Amino acid sequence: MDRVLVVVFDNETKAYEGEKALLQLDAEGSISIYAHAVIAKQADGTVTVKQKERPGPVGTLVGTVLGSLIGLLGGPTGAAIGAASGFAAGGATDLNGARIGEDFIQDVDKQLVPNKVAVVAEIKEDWTTPVDSRMEAIGGIVFRRSLSDVKKAIREENVNAMKADLAQMKAEQAKADTNRKAKLQEKINQLDTKIQAQLQKSKDKREASERQDQAKVQALKAKAEAAKAKAS
């Protein structure tokens, strides 16, 4: 199952120890890491990426589930993200892009207070014990959430609702007088522009998600082939 993982530690030393343990679990085959980073919460509430040595098959963090998560953890003051991450400040605060609920962000924020450091990752794991036991032994507090397509369904419902409104306006326009027709046409044009923008946004998100999914599949295949070659 694909999940986002956040493990909060008291300091950088512990966080890097946690990162090392997470990579060991990946090497052992207990989990598969698609992308990960070490982040720190600053005194002003912003988040800085401390280390991102292995972006994984999804490439840079920009536009990814993990990138959106890091931006959201920066809070309302915005994400002060380091140059190594490839972000512009405040450029990754999309809850839809994170594909997780707002409650997850709130739960993490309660522990990821200023001066705390965390390992964040997008992973595939079949059971939680390997990660939990390793991280807890180091002193980490583990948060995880399965990725969801609920936001996609909400966007589709929103577009369908706007299309219904558009159809109603067009029906009214057909029966209206000249003055009313012009006013309705203006509203029709505005609503149609919003619909097209939503459809394009959904298309862009879908294509980006498909590219990431394909990269993940290839990464898992490569990992399996490497393990097979090592065993033979």
Instruction: Report CA torsion sign: 192, 92, 7, 104.
Output: negative
Q: Which residues contact 208 (CB under 8 A, 6 or more apart)?
A: 63
Measured between alpha carbons, how far is residue 109 from residues 15, 41, 63, 75, 112 in Å?
A: 16, 10, 21, 9, 5
- Cα–Cα distance between 20 and 7 in angstroms, integer? 13
How far is the C-alpha of 110 from the C-alpha of 199, rounded, in Å? 36
For residue 202, give every residue at least 6 positions away whose Cβ sits within 8 Å of its Cβ, in sequence order, or none: 152, 155, 156, 159
DSSP run (H or E) holding 40: strand 31-41
Q: What tens-digit pLDDT sequence spans the chain (232 residues)?
A: 888 899 999 999 999 999 999 999 998 889 998 888 899 998 888 888 886 555 444 445 545 778 778 888 875 434 334 333 433 333 344 555 556 777 788 889 999 999 999 999 988 898 889 999 999 999 999 998 887 655 566 577 778 888 888 998 899 899 888 888 888 899 899 999 989 988 888 787 777 777 777 777 777 777 778 777 777 7
Using CA atoms, how far residue 125 sits from 4, 44, 130, 146, in Å, is: 10, 34, 9, 10
Are 8 and 114 spatial neighbours (Cβ–Cβ below 8 Å)? no
Give the residue extent of every domain in the chain.
2-148, 151-231
CA-to-CA dists, residue 1 to 60, 136, 150, 181, 200, angstroms: 22, 21, 16, 53, 29
